[in-house]
């Protein structure tokens, strides 16, 4: 159960680092669903080593340790489970958030939350360990009560959207409960279990986007979430492409 054990830090470099350490401990190691939460991070990060702005005492920075019985290629859609959980939890508070595939939660064009999924494996430390020692670390940053952001960020928070401060730990509980349910459904039934909910929160649906497909920039309209969790896009000639990873840029706001 996600949230079965929660370890809280005042500060750390990154909750993903703490979760990775905990996942790899020989004694008292993180169970499936263990959570690390910190009040601030000195080295909070996004994908490709980008910085995650992590001021103290205002927002949520946490990482969930998962030990799903899944082959590696089925891990990426777990990011969508986390995004859906955040979206639904803040939607319930009146915030009109949507998911920008694969890992952003936005309100309009401003980022409310981001997800960073990493793998942690112990095999290099201990040759006798097997695949069950591989853990998936899902790091989630949610802007909850920050009212101002560095000018270079297009960011928003729950408090900016609702006009009121929000109890961070109540929101954390809501996110973890929803994430537990989505991860369970995904592990049991695959991406099909996420498709309907994802489509109703899909910020890119029907929009013209540009993305890298096999190293080449391709533009087209987003069609749907494919059964492997990639994003299906149709170019101007009607050819379908699968966006497997990376950045998707929206070209215009007209659906």
- Asked if omega into 93 is within 30° of 0 (cis), the reply is no
Which stretch, 59-67, 128-136, 161-169, 182-190, contacts ligand BT5 (CB under 6 A)? 59-67
Which structure tokens are listed for 181? 């349910």
Beta carbon nearer to ligand BT5, 75 or 155: 155
Which of 47, 74, 212, 242 is the binder for ligand BT5 (CB under 6 A)? 47
8 A C-beta contact, residue 98 and residue 201? yes
Beta carbon nearer to ligand BT5, 118 or 193: 118
CA angle 82, 225, 194 (to 5 degrees): 45
66, 51, 54, 48: which is closest to 3 by C-alpha? Answer: 66
Which of 2, 22, 41, 230 is the binder for ligand BT5 (CB under 6 A)? 41
Footprint (CB under 6 A) of ligand BT5, residues 110-169: 111, 114-116, 139-141, 143, 153, 155
Q: Report the 10 Å Cβ neighbour count for 150.
A: 9
Nearest residue to ligand BT5 on Cβ basis:
114
Q: Does 53 bind ligand BT5 (CB under 6 A)?
A: yes
Q: At what angle do helices 78-91 and 168-189 cross, to 10 degrees?
A: 140
CA separation for the pair 57, 201 (Å, rounded)? 29
Q: How many CA atoms lie within 13 A of 76 on its CB side?
A: 15
Beta carbon nearer to ligand BT5, 45 or 208: 45
Which stretch, 48-56, 91-99, 119-127, 158-166, contacts ligand BT5 (CB under 6 A)? 48-56
53, 50, 41: which is closest to 13 by C-alpha? Answer: 41
DSSP per residue over 60-72, as a string?
EEEEEEE-----G
Which stretch, 45-53, 176-184, 210-218, 229-237, contacts ligand BT5 (CB under 6 A)? 45-53
Which of 22, 34, 63, 76 is the binder for ligand BT5 (CB under 6 A)? 63
Q: Does 103 bind ligand BT5 (CB under 6 A)?
A: yes
Coil vs helix vs strand at 177: helix
* Shortest spacing between CB 194 and ligand BT5, in angstroms: 19
Q: Does 198 bind ligand BT5 (CB under 6 A)?
A: no
Beta carbon nearer to ligand BT5, 117 or 193: 117
Size of the site for ligand BT5 (CB under 6 A): 28
**End-to-end alpha carbon distance in the chain:** 39
Enumerate binding residues for ligand BT5 (CB under 6 A): 14-16, 41, 44-48, 50-53, 61-63, 103-104, 111, 114-116, 139-141, 143, 153, 155
């Amino acid at each position: 159960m996600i949230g079965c054990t929660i370890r809280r830090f005042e500060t750390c470099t990154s909750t993903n680092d703490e979760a990775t350490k905990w996942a790899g401990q020989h004694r008292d190691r993180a169970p499936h669903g263990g959570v690390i939460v910190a009040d601030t991070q000195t080295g909070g990060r996004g994908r490709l080593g980008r910085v995650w702005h992590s001021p103290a005492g205002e927002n949520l920075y946490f990482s969930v340790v998962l030990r799903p019985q899944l082959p590696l290629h089925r891990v990426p859609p777990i990011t969508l489970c986390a995004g859906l959980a955040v979206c639904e939890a803040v939607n319930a508070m009146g915030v009109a958030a949507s998911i920008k595939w694969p890992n952003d939660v936005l309100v309009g064009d401003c980022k409310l939350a981001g997800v960073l999924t990493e793998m942690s494996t112990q095999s290099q430390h201990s040759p006798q360990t097997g695949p069950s020692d591989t853990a998936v670390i899902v790091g989630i940053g949610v802007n909850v009560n920050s009212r101002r952001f560095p000018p270079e960020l297009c960011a928003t928070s729950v408090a900016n959207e609702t006009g009121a401060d929000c109890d961070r730990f109540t929101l954390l509980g809501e996110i973890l409960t929803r994430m537990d349910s989505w991860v369970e459904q995904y592990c049991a039934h695959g991406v099909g279990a996420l498709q309907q909910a994802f489509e109703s929160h899909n910020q890119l649906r029907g929009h013209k986007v540009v993305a890298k497909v096999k190293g080449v920039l391709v533009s087209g309209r987003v069609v749907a979430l494919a059964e492997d969790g990639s994003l299906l896009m149709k170019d101007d000639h009607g050819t379908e492409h699968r966006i497997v990873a990376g950045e998707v840029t929206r070209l215009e706001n007209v659906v």
